[in-house]
Structure 1
């Protein structure tokens, strides 16, 4: 007797949903489980916040532009997909800057720049050097990222360097954001070693000991950041090609219903008039979309919790120039903007400085961030006003008055989730309630346990392991 296929519907065709589909198919094949997967994406293009535009030799990224390799999940997925020869890493240490009195000041990366930096007063530098001797917090519960960093590093370091840097990534307020979600590794270092610095040294020592015990040579050093030759959309395109199940683009789920007594208890009504029956559903969407989909099938408290997770808007503006018209092309990876500066930008990234393949040799590309929690209204500026604002800021900061050769604008409304203090405990509570009320309905995505590309892949891989365990238990309970 042939094993019946488990019909799985994944709502959301971003990196979380596609990674879930890919790993579900791989794991099901290894465990000899028959599955049929359908991915439903409301936009015409897959990728979610990954949005690459290739134009006239330039590669513009509207969303994330690379991934960190310290978290291995994205690097490993690229390898598994056969993209190892397409990976491009940063080839030099990154120079990172903070806007200080209207001009970029380099972030200290060693003793020489630390003691000479204008970003910190003598007292601020002394306070930072005290980090290994600051007593850890006795209460192990979650706290805001700002609270954690101020305890460990001091107010000056947080306000002048860390806060603008983190704000340009998360687009939110470090004093409201959960440390467990955003920088859980540092919080764990404090718990285990009493200090972030001591924790980092302990981690390096542990890795050296592991290599020595195994007799392995030191592995080749990976670049700090990596992307793909064709942009990050190449990862999405390759995932879509290798997923054997059905992928529906430009199709929204208009309604989700649950009939516990049905053989396939979930019914998803689609915007194209079609409906899908499913044994198992994965929601890989922003949390407010999860709330909309679950509105008729779960208690109101869960809906409110999902809907109340804050998101902030942002608009990215890629601007290309003729290199010959730039007197001193910016050679840094980025400039972040503290709140006390006059600039209306959140940050500027040196897109072609970080990865030269993103532009022809005669072109130079910068990317500006506008909006965020501090100025959400700027993310909605009309195009002409937005371009004028960005060009004026680039002129003020870098002295660039040249006419752009290309401009690419990407609006995200909303953009990044802002997980508040207590977020992980709340997500765990939501998942417990869903498991009790809606068996075989699962959540994954940036709004849950981390929003970087590796974090999204990690969450989807962990979810697949859970689903495989649940499916095997269900299969074993079926009569022979």
Structure 2
């Protein structure tokens, strides 16, 4: 029997081998490969899979630094437990027992308001107050602001079906003060964006659904909170992490990438350090429909191409082939994070929560700070402390360009002013994530649906997926990889 080539999975079928080229080795590309191979096995099809990435490693923005007993995330640090796609993948990879939950004693989160840290009111769900008594006791809003929030219960739902910005929606429902103080630091922080420019339908469609179904976003989120609690009791989340809003892996998020890479290795040809420079549509009869040209000049024949890069990179590859105005509409924001490690004996403080967020109105360079070693107990030795501070958001990206010394200096100064921390760090890790946060402008969902529909008609066998399209979180990217497999390998 002839030895099969690396990158080809033999389904013992008489059919032709499908050549798949996946551009991008982040979680979207790896998930696409994983589910395409699994689906091919089930259908007894033959695949030859190649993953091309100009980076020297797989994982994209996911990168865990394991240093001196610390587990430090240089990119994303966790994921929402309610999004099942990543739980399913962990189970399929045999990583279920490696999932770890938030420290139950660190559930409290703070908001910086007028220079002081205030605990978030109980019942705050994605910035929506569901416990108005707790909001009344909070010092975060004025009496007028609290009254305006309570009036939301009586406001009629807006008519029509057009998209709007998150900021517009929340201001008409809750008032401007609540938007600036409660919503902006929480919701905009997820995207590093501006609420008045982000699409409601693409980011938090559940808010509009709550307004339409319950006549009030507050009542809708209250009902959602009750339903979520009931669902959590019946959920498929492993028992040891049930009840935690966020999850990660004990060895860091890179352990998921490493397991995926290990699982895929026998059947995938990984081309690290190889940049895809063009996609050529083939006209010759009997030839592969596409060729992917690499920076080396090599051309890879492909029956199917999956593009999982950032939107602007995908646009440059596809521009010679089709209209890419939908991709051009996705603007990106650059951010940075500064991790500070301390000796607990010199630190002089203890934390009762997971960290704090900072509204734009506070005029700080830091947008948030995670008390990492308190939030995630596995990330630090018992006698050490780990903090992670975030810098950069839409309209304030210049700080990301500062050198390490400048960034460290401003972060340490603000940490001192906000929390009174004067201890000298054991070490500092600075990570810049250039063009890492896609911004979903108003009308994003409709533009992307139309774009994908046109691709299917004009360029069958070519698929685009990833954070630029339908969700920036890790579970969203994994779900989209699974969807890519289903769309491209359907009978």
- Settle same-fold status: TM greater than 0.5: yes
Give the CA RMSD over aligned residues: 2.3
Report the alpha carbon displacement of residue 316 of structure 1 after superposing the two structures with TM: 0.8
Matched residues in 2 for 1:240 and 1:400: separation?
40
Asked if 1:315 is matched to 2:336, the reply is yes
Superposed CA deviations along residues 12-53 of structure 1, whole A, max 9, x for unmatched, are 111111111111111111122222211111101211111211
Superposed CA deviations along residues 381-413 of structure 1, whole A, max 9, x for unmatched, are 011111111111111111111111121111111
Report the alpha carbon displacement of residue 75 of structure 1 after superposing the two structures with TM: 1.7
Asked if 1:280 is matched to 2:304, the reply is yes
Given the alignment, which residue of 228, 233, 241 partners 2:262? Answer: 241
Aligned to 1:335: 356
Matched residues in 2 for 1:134 and 1:242: separation?
53
Given the alignment, which residue of 170, 181, 192 partners 1:171? Answer: 192
Matched residues in 2 for 1:8 and 1:339: separation?
45
Aligned to 1:361: 382
Aligned to 2:219: 198
Asked if 1:128 is matched to 2:149, the reply is yes
Matched residues in 2 for 1:427 and 1:78: separation?
29
Given the alignment, which residue of 61, 86, 96 partners 1:84? Answer: 96
Aligned to 2:8: none
Aligned to 1:48: 60
Larger displacement relative to structure 2 (174-183 or 131-140): 131-140
Contact kept in structure 2, 1:43 and 1:251, CA below 8 Å = yes
Asked if 1:8 is matched to 2:20, the reply is yes
Note the 1:29-40 alignment, pairs <5 A. Answer: 29-40=41-52
Contact kept in structure 2, 1:372 and 1:379, CA below 8 Å = no
Aligned to 1:290: 314
Gaps of 5+ in 2: 1-12, 124-130
Aligned to 1:97: 110
Matched residues in 2 for 1:107 and 1:230: separation?
30
Asked if 1:64 is matched to 2:85, the reply is no
Give secondary structure in 1 for the equivalent of 2:169: helix
Contact kept in structure 1, 2:467 and 2:477, CA below 8 Å = yes
Give secondary structure in 2 for the equivalent of 1:129: helix
Aligned to 1:477: none
Give secondary structure in 1 for the equivalent of 2:31: helix
Aligned to 2:6: none
Aligned in 2, Cα 1:6/1:142: closer, same or farther, shift over 3 Å? same
Report the alpha carbon displacement of residue 305 of structure 1 after superposing the two structures with TM: 2.9
Matched residues in 2 for 1:219 and 1:124: separation?
41
Give secondary structure in 1 for the equivalent of 2:327: helix
Aligned to 2:395: 374
Matched residues in 2 for 1:252 and 1:438: separation?
21
Contact kept in structure 1, 2:354 and 2:371, CA below 8 Å = yes
Report the alpha carbon displacement of residue 246 of structure 1 after superposing the two structures with TM: 1.5
Aligned to 2:30: 18
Gaps of 5+ in 1: 473-480
Asked if 1:114 is matched to 2:130, the reply is no
Matched residues in 2 for 1:407 and 1:362: separation?
17
Give secondary structure in 2 for the equivalent of 1:97: strand
Matched residues in 1 for 2:388 and 2:381: separation?
16
Aligned in 2, Cα 1:232/1:218: closer, same or farther, shift over 3 Å? closer
Report the alpha carbon displacement of residue 210 of structure 1 after superposing the two structures with TM: 8.9
Aligned to 1:475: none
Aligned to 2:5: none
Aligned to 1:476: none
Matched residues in 2 for 1:54 and 1:131: separation?
47
Contact kept in structure 2, 1:39 and 1:246, CA below 8 Å = yes
Asked if 1:401 is matched to 2:422, the reply is yes
Number of residue pairs aligned between Structure 1 and Structure 2? 465
Aligned in 2, Cα 1:320/1:131: closer, same or farther, shift over 3 Å? same
Report the alpha carbon displacement of residue 420 of structure 1 after superposing the two structures with TM: 0.3
Aligned in 2, Cα 1:367/1:433: closer, same or farther, shift over 3 Å? same
Contact kept in structure 1, 2:20 and 2:47, CA below 8 Å = yes
Aligned in 2, Cα 1:68/1:211: closer, same or farther, shift over 3 Å? closer
Superposed CA deviations along residues 421-447 of structure 1, whole A, max 9, x for unmatched, are 001111111112211221110010001
Superposed CA deviations along residues 50-86 of structure 1, whole A, max 9, x for unmatched, are 1211111111111110001111111221111110111
Note the 1:209-288 alignment, pairs <5 A. Answer: 221-243=242-264, 244-262=267-285, 263-288=287-312
Matched residues in 1 for 2:197 and 2:303: separation?
39
